[in-house]
Amino acid sequence: MTGEATGINAIEPAGAFGPRDTLPPGDLPQVAFTGRSNVGKSSLINRMLGRRKLAPISSTPGKTRKIHLFKINGQFYLVDLPGYGFTKLPVEVKKRWELMVARFIDGNRALRGMVCLLDIRRDLTGTDRAMLLSLAQKGLPLMIALTKADKLKRGKQNQAVDKLVRSFGGAIPREQVLPTSSLTGQGVDELLANVLALVSEDEP
C-alpha cells in the first residue's frame, strides 16, 4: 500500500533549510520525522513513500544537518529533521542544530504531528527520553516508529513496545507505538495511513 498505491503520486523536494536560513514555508500542513542519527529515518521515509533515494541517506552518522522538506501531492509537507544524539559533532555545531530544530517545532502552526523513530533493539537514552517528553508536553499528535523490527521476532517486538509504554507511565499510549521495518515493509503502510490522517483533517 506504500507510495502510489495510497494515492501518493506526486513527490517534490521542497528545499533544505539550515540554522541560518529562514523557517520553511508554512503554506501547507506539515508532518515531521525525527530520531537519533543512524536510526534508519531516511530509509523508512523512502520505503513509506515508495521512493528509493528521496530522503538523503548518509553513511556517516551526523552528516545530514539540514531540515529537508518534501511536498506530497501538492497537499502537505513531509519534513525530515536532522538526526540528533551524534556525540562526535563539535559542541557548537550540536547547539546550532538543536536550536534550529526547536525553532522549527515551537510555534509552528503548520505542524500537524510528529513521528519519532527509535531503534527497537536499543534502550532509551536520556536524549531520546527528553525528546519524547518534550513532544508529548507540546500536545502535538505523536507517533513512535520502532525501526529495524525485522531484527527481532514478533514476541520480542511486543516486549519492546510494552517496555517503552511502561517507561512513560501511560503518557504515551500503546497504540501510538508501531514496530516498523524499511527492509520488509512491516508497519510502513500503517505509519503512512497515520500521516495521511493527520493532514486530511485540513481538507474541507
Amino acid of residue 109: R
Q: What is the mean pLDDT of the chain?
A: 85
How large is the greatest C-alpha to C-alpha distance in the chain, in angstroms? 47
Q: Which of 47-56, 91-100, 127-136, 173-182 has the highest mean pLDDT?
A: 173-182
Q: From residue 40, give the alpha-carbon distance in Å to each of 61, 125, 146, 194.
A: 10, 17, 10, 19
Could you tell me how many residues make up the chain?
204
Residue of 38 and 158 predicted with greater confidence = 158
pLDDT in tens, 44-56: 999 999 887 676 6
Arithmetic mean of pLDDT, 59-72: 73
The parent domain of residue 100 ranges over: 3-200
156: domain CATH number is 3.40.50.300
pLDDT in tens, 77-106: 999 998 876 656 677 777 777 788 888 888
Q: Which residues pair with 35 in a beta bridge?
A: 117
Would you say 177 and 120 are in contact if contact means Cβ atoms under 8 Å apart? no
Nine-digit cell string for 33: 520525522
Arithmetic mean of pLDDT, 166-190: 92
Domain tally, the chain? 1
User: For residue 128, which of 89, 85, 97 has the smallest C-alpha distance?
Assistant: 85
Task: Say how far apart CA 184 and CA 31 lie, in whole Å.
Answer: 23
pLDDT tier for residue 1 given thresholds of 50, 70 and 90: very low
